[in-house]
Amino acid sequence: RWFTHFYVVSVLWNGFLLIWLFQAEFLGGSLPSWIQHMHHALGRDSQIANFYLQADKEHFSALLVLLLLWLHSCRRLAECLWTSVFSNGVIHIVQYCFGLGYYIAVGSTVLCQVPTNVRNGKELSVQICWYHIAGVLMYIWASLHQHRCIVILANLRKSKSGKVVNLSHNVPFGDWFERVSCPHYFAELLLYVSMAITLGFHNVTWWCVVMCVLFNQALAAVLCHEFYQKNFSFYPKHRKAFIPFVF
C-alpha cells in the first residue's frame, strides 16, 4: 500500500513540470533556470538543439509524453486509493527510496528532451504526427487492460457486494490473466513503449527508460509466477509469467 506514496509524488511533481512545459510551449514562457543548468550539466543543449530543429511536431512530443505520464500516475493513484485491496506485506526501504526517486527522475527525463528554442520564450505551433496518434491509442489500450486486471485482483478479496472479506492470495482469471500471471506488469511495459512511440521511436534516452521498466517488471513477474506455481497446484500450466506466448 505504500506504493500509493509513489503516485502522490508523481502526480504533484510531474504535474508541476507539465504546467511549466505547457507555459513554455504555448504561452511563450521560459523554463526555470535550474532546468537550463541541468541541460547544460548533462550536455544536452547542443544535442537537443541539433536534433529537434526539424519541426514543431517533435517539440510537441515531450509535452504529450509528460501529459500521458501524469495521467497514468493519476489513474494509478486513484486505483490505489479506491480500487486495490492490499495485503499486509511490507516494502524494503531501498525499494521505497528507489520508487520515490524514480518518479521524480522519469518526469525530469522527459523535460530533458525539450529542445533549446523552447527555453528562449518562443511559442510553438502544434503539429500532430501519425506516431502521436499511434502512441496515444496504444496508451489507452494498455491503460484499459491494466485497470481491468487491477479490478480483477481486487475482486479476489471482495464479496459480490464489494465488501473486503480476506487479504489472502488467490488465482486470478479473466482478461489477460488467461495468458500471463502478471498482465498488469505487461501493461505497464506497453505504456512506456507507447510513450516511446509518441516520442517518434528515435529517442534513445526514453528507450533506456523502457529497458529499465522491462527488467524491473519482468523480475517482479517471475517472482509472482513462481509464487503462484508453488502455492497453487491447480495453477494453469499454459500461462507465461510476463509476456504472452513468449516469457
Looking at this protein, which amino acid is placed at residue 115? P
Nearest-angstrom CA–CA distance, 135 and 64 = 10
The tens digit of pLDDT for each residue in 85-130 reads 999 889 999 999 999 999 999 998 888 777 655 545 555 667 788 9
Strand partners, 158: 164
- Which of 23, 122, 30 is CA-nearest to residue 66? 23
Question: Pick from 96, 129, 243: which is nearest to 197 by CA?
Answer: 129
Query: How many CA atoms are closer than 13 Å to the CA of 83, on its beta-carbon side?
Result: 15
Burial of 159 (0-12, 13-18, 19+ CB in 10 A): exposed
Give the pLDDT score at 50. Answer: 46
Cα distances (Å, whole numbers) of residue 81 to 69, 77, 86, 168: 18, 6, 10, 19
pLDDT at 212 over 60: yes
Q: What are the pLDDT digits (tens) for 51-97?
A: 444 445 667 898 999 999 999 999 999 999 999 999 988 999 999 99
Tell me, what's the pLDDT at 71?
98
Work out the pLDDT band at 11, boundaries 50, 70, 90: very high
Q: What are phi and psi of 71, to 5 degrees?
A: -65, -40
Residue partners of 171: CB distance under 8 A and separation at least 6? 228, 232, 234, 235, 236
Stronger pLDDT, 153 or 59, i.e. the higher one:
153
| Angstrom distances, CA of residue 33 to CA of 18, 29, 105, 120, 179 | 16, 12, 18, 11, 49
Residue 137, amino acid: L
- How do residues 31-46 score in pLDDT, each as one tens digit? 667 776 776 676 555 4
Are 241 and 223 in contact by the 8 Å Cβ rule? The answer is: no
Q: How much is the pLDDT for 2?
A: 93
Which alpha helices (DSSP H) does the chain contain, by range? Answer: 3-26, 33-41, 44-52, 56-82, 93-111, 130-155, 183-198, 204-231
Q: Which pLDDT belongs to residue 20?
A: 86
> What distance in Å separates the CA atoms of residue 182 and residue 106, rounded to the nearest whole number?
23
Q: Specify the residue for cell string 493513484.
A: 77
User: Burial letters for 161-188: b for 16+ Cβ neighbours within 10 Å, e otherwise?
Assistant: eeeeeeeebeebeebbbeebbbbbbbbb
Residue 15 to residue 67: CA distance in whole angstroms? 8
Query: How far apart, in whole angstroms, are the C-alpha atoms of residue 192 and residue 163?
Result: 33
